[in-house]
Amino acid sequence: MNKFFCIFCIILFISKTENVFSNNIIYDVNNVEIETTTKNSSNNRKLVNLAFKKAFLIFIDKILLRDDAVLLHKTKIEVIKDLVLTYQIAGNKKNNVNGTLSTFNIKFDPKKINSFLAERGISYADITNVSLTIFPILIKDKKILLYQENFFYENWMKLKNVEKNIKDELISYNLALENIEDLEYINSLKENIDLIDVKKINSFNIDANYALLIIYSFDNKLKAFIKTSIKNKNINRNINLNFYPKNKNKSYEEAIVVLKKEISQIWKEQNLIDVNTPSFLDFFLEIKKIDDYLKIKSILDEIDVIENYSVLEMTNKYLKMRLKYRGKVSKIKNKLIEQKMDIQIIDNIWKLKIK
């Protein structure tokens, strides 16, 4: 029985040389809502096209840098339709104006998306869901406000109504908890607030990902200093914000939106995949169990930066494979580790084991 199973695996791998893509949610855009006054909305081609267009804009805003996304905002519907792999009308319900609210789930074709971006020389961000602790500090008229009277601390998680146009659903924010030691430490700096050592902030010790915001409000001006660490990548940035002298709350609400977009931009910049420059990696996989052949196939299919893979050599003790992937080699290494792979690199020779 094992002999026949092994033969089956060999045949399967030899034939598996075409492009492969994972079921990664990065290509899925769900719960796209379109309102219409047409009764037969589910059969309305115009309605479907509107859903495709809206989903495409959400998709590119999610995975592309700001300027690149803007370049594609005017992409024609005929082009967008060709990029769609599948779609589903998840529901129809009546709205408040005797019309229909239709909800769509749309999945874009990874292969076509890669080709579409490569033709235009645009890189995309290979990002996953991340939880981030946010600590906004407001410096108002030289007074340091951490918790009470700090509009940003009190409203960062509340302003859902101004977040509708923010495509940062991959970032889940947690507000830093009030801490007396943090209060004393930050107040002790006062004139040198920019010199805050985030390692001394207790609120960040429980979360590897954080964003420290220092917002300055003075002389009818508003600016912010952003210090982030996401997945052990540290980025600092200064940003000027709009201030409306006659409407302070509007200034602060808009600032929250801009700051969230900027944090999302930072996260994308650290995870760009150059679709024009594929790389290749050869590795040896130690075979300990007969089903390791199928396990490695399943693992590689789950990694979306792998464009294709092929078998170079196969024995009952090891498997030699070649991957074609996009992005940095550190990215493919991390993704293999996330899939519970044990990796040893000796003299540039990769040896893998399935844990």
- In this prediction, residue 15 carries a pLDDT of 47
In 10 A of CB 67, how many CB atoms? 9
Residues 165-177 have a mean pLDDT of: 73
Per DSSP, the chain holds a count of helices (H) and strands (E) of 10, 16
- In this prediction, residue 27 carries a pLDDT of 86
Q: Say whether pLDDT at 171 is over 70.
A: yes
- In this prediction, residue 169 carries a pLDDT of 63
Q: Shortest CA distance to 160 belongs to which of 253, 72, 54?
A: 253
Quote the CA–CA distance of 240 and 182 in Å, as a whole number: 26
- Please report how many Cα atoms fall inside a 13 Å half-sphere around the Cα of residue 192, on the Cβ side: 6
- In this prediction, residue 2 carries a pLDDT of 53
Share of the chain above pLDDT 90, in %: 40
User: How big is the chain by its Cα radius of gyration, in Å?
Assistant: 25
Give me the DSSP letters along 129-172: -EEEEEEEEEEETTEEESSTT-HHHHHTTT-GGG-TT---TTEE
Lowest mean pLDDT across 79-93, 166-180, 266-280: 166-180
User: Using one digit for the tens of pLDDT, what is the confidence trace for 28-85?
Assistant: 899 998 887 755 545 578 889 999 999 999 999 988 999 999 999 999 999 999 999 9
- In this prediction, residue 104 carries a pLDDT of 93
In 10 A of CB 80, how many CB atoms? 20
- In this prediction, residue 3 carries a pLDDT of 52
- In this prediction, residue 1 carries a pLDDT of 43
Quote the CA–CA distance of 172 and 131 in Å, as a whole number: 5
Q: Say whether pLDDT at 18 is over 50.
A: no
Residue 192 vs residues 142, 154, 178, 196: alpha-carbon distances, Å: 11, 24, 21, 8
**Beta-strand relationship, 233-241 and 100-108:** unpaired
Q: Say whether pLDDT at 346 is over 60.
A: yes
Residues recorded for the chain: 355
Phi-psi region at 39: left, alpha or beta (left = phi > 0; alpha = psi -120 to 50): alpha
- In this prediction, residue 207 carries a pLDDT of 61
Alpha helices by DSSP H, listed for the chain, are: 2-15, 45-63, 66-72, 77-83, 110-119, 151-155, 180-189, 248-269, 292-301, 329-338
User: Using one digit for the tens of pLDDT, what is the confidence trace for 110-127?
Assistant: 889 988 998 998 988 877
Residues 298-309 have a mean pLDDT of: 84
Residues 178-182 have a mean pLDDT of: 91
- In this prediction, residue 304 carries a pLDDT of 75
Report pTM.
0.73
Quote the CA–CA distance of 30 and 81 in Å, as a whole number: 16
Lowest mean pLDDT across 138-142, 275-279, 303-307: 275-279
Q: Shortest CA distance to 77 belongs to which of 123, 33, 46?
A: 46
Residue that has been written with the tokens 């769509």 in this structure:
104
Confidence bin at 9 (pLDDT 50/70/90): low
Sign of CA dihedral 180, 185, 186, 187: positive
Q: Give the residue with greater pLDDT, 100 vs 341.
A: 341
Residue that has been written with the tokens 């399943």 in this structure:
298
**Over the chain, what is the mean pLDDT?**
84
- Please report how many Cα atoms fall inside a 13 Å half-sphere around the Cα of residue 34, on the Cβ side: 24
Quote the CA–CA distance of 322 and 207 in Å, as a whole number: 36
Quote the CA–CA distance of 205 and 228 in Å, as a whole number: 14
Phi-psi region at 276: left, alpha or beta (left = phi > 0; alpha = psi -120 to 50): alpha
Residues 275-287 have a mean pLDDT of: 86
User: Using one digit for the tens of pLDDT, what is the confidence trace for 212-259?
Assistant: 999 999 888 999 999 998 887 889 999 999 999 999 999 999 999 999
Quote the CA–CA distance of 175 and 74 in Å, as a whole number: 37
